[in-house]
């Protein structure tokens, strides 16, 4: 397929581009590093012409250095421009890079474990809120136009340096001033594979899909981890066995819609390091 990939020169963008090209797709990039801005509606519309799918990764990655108005402007206006460009160019599918943070996972304790795609959102921080609102925009767009929108929600994305830094810590620490982040991590290669799968899977209409490794990022059993960090949170389907290490994020929807299965996890440290 002919794929327009926004944000193709970033860390995730490079991995997604390589995966798409390895799968036989014809990929055109669109990135601020090349002077292309998703806030420029005409530039996005021109770039979308002749493509069958848009994979939209471009955006500001968090709240640490960017002003809230910048985060909202790039992440929401940029996504709006991509959707309009898709309709104008007759694109059949938009695959959007959202985030697990859209569920407010770093702002408060979850309502139940494991967290799944049906969990209420209600984020309040600019980055997380921009992702949640962009998902809502995608759903409304699909309802209006019939163009499929798949919103992929990776949790903390780790490449080799990130895995090494995580291993050096005794356990994934709480984010400053927020609730614990569920010991959730996903390898960048698994995320890239999910985006490639989203380009070619059966049309789901609109879908929101969490992406996480199968196991918790801790050497301890998951029931001990949850008891230490989230003692008041109930298990949705019953607690796992005493020695279980299954993730606190349920990716069943991604497996069903995409046929996706993560290959890398904590016990092999993303395949880069031995336990």
Distances (CA, A) of 83 to 31, 120, 157, 252: 17, 24, 25, 27
User: Distance between CA 187 and CA 173 in Å, rounded?
Assistant: 18
What pLDDT does 64 receive? 67
Contact (Cβ atoms closer than 8 angstroms) between residue 76 and residue 132: no
Helices 126-145 and 78-89 sit at what angle, rounded to 10 degrees?
A: 20
Distance of CA 117 to the CA centre of its chain: 12
Distances (CA, A) of 246 to 118, 120, 216, 267: 19, 22, 6, 12
What pLDDT does 240 receive? 86
Phi/psi region, residue 270 (left: phi>0; alpha: psi -120 to 50; beta: rest), is left
Contact (Cβ atoms closer than 8 angstroms) between residue 212 and residue 184: yes
Q: What is the DSSP letter of 75?
A: I
User: Distance between CA 77 and CA 67 in Å, rounded?
Assistant: 15
Backbone angles phi, psi at 163, to 5 degrees: -60, -45
What pLDDT does 175 receive? 60
What is the domain partition of the chain in residue ranges? Answer: 2-271
User: Distance between CA 136 and CA 130 in Å, rounded?
Assistant: 10
Interacting residues of 88 by C-beta distance below 8 A, sequence separation 6+: 45, 48
Options 3.40.630.10, 3.40.190.80, 3.40.50.720, 3.40.50.150; CATH for 2-271 is: 3.40.50.720
Interacting residues of 97 by C-beta distance below 8 A, sequence separation 6+: 7, 12, 55, 56, 57, 59, 152, 154, 195
Phi/psi region, residue 183 (left: phi>0; alpha: psi -120 to 50; beta: rest), is left
| Angle 180-62-60 from CA coordinates, rounded to 5° | 155
User: Distance between CA 70 and CA 89 in Å, rounded?
Assistant: 27
Q: pLDDT tens string for the chain (275 positions)? A: 999 999 999 999 999 999 999 999 999 999 999 999 999 999 999 999 999 999 999 999 876 677 899 999 999 999 999 999 999 999 999 999 999 999 998 888 999 999 999 999 989 999 999 999 999 999 999 999 999 999 999 999 999 999 988 888 767 666 655 667 788 999 999 999 999 999 999 999 999 999 999 999 988 899 999 988 899 999 998 888 878 999 999 999 999 999 999 999 999 989 987 65
User: Distance between CA 33 and CA 57 in Å, rounded?
Assistant: 13
User: Distance between CA 208 and CA 186 in Å, rounded?
Assistant: 16
């Amino acid at each position: 397929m002919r794929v327009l990939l926004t944000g193709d020169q970033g860390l995730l963008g490079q991995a997604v581009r390589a995966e798409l090209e390895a799968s036989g797709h014809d990929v055109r990039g669109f990135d601020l590093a090349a002077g292309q801005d998703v806030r420029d509606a005409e530039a996005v519309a021109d770039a979308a012409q002749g493509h069958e799918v848009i994979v939209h990764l471009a955006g500001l990655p968090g709240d640490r250095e960017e002003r809230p108005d910048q985060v909202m402007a790039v992440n929401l206006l940029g996504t709006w421009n991509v959707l309009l460009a898709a309709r104008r160019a007759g694109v059949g599918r938009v695959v959007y890079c959202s985030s697990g943070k859209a569920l407010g996972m770093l702002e408060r304790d979850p309502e139940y474990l494991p967290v799944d795609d049906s969990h209420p959102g209600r984020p309040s921080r600019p980055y997380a809120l921009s992702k949640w609102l962009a998902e809502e925009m995608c759903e409304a767009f699909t309802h209006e136009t019939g163009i499929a929108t798949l919103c992929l929600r990776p949790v903390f994305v780790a490449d080799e340096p990130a895995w090494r830094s995580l291993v050096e810590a005794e356990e994934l620490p709480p984010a400053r001033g927020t609730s614990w982040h569920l010991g959730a991590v996903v390898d960048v290669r698994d995320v890239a594979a999910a985006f490639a799968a989203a380009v070619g899977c059966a049309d789901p209409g609109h879908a929101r899909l969490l992406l996480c490794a199968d196991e918790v990022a801790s050497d301890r059993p998951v029931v001990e981890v949850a008891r230490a960090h989230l003692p008041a949170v109930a298990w949705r389907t019953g607690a796992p066995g005493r020695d279980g290490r299954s993730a606190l994020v349920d990716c069943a929807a991604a497996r069903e819609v995409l046929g996706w299965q993560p290959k890398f996890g904590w016990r092999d440290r993303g395949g880069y390091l031995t336990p």
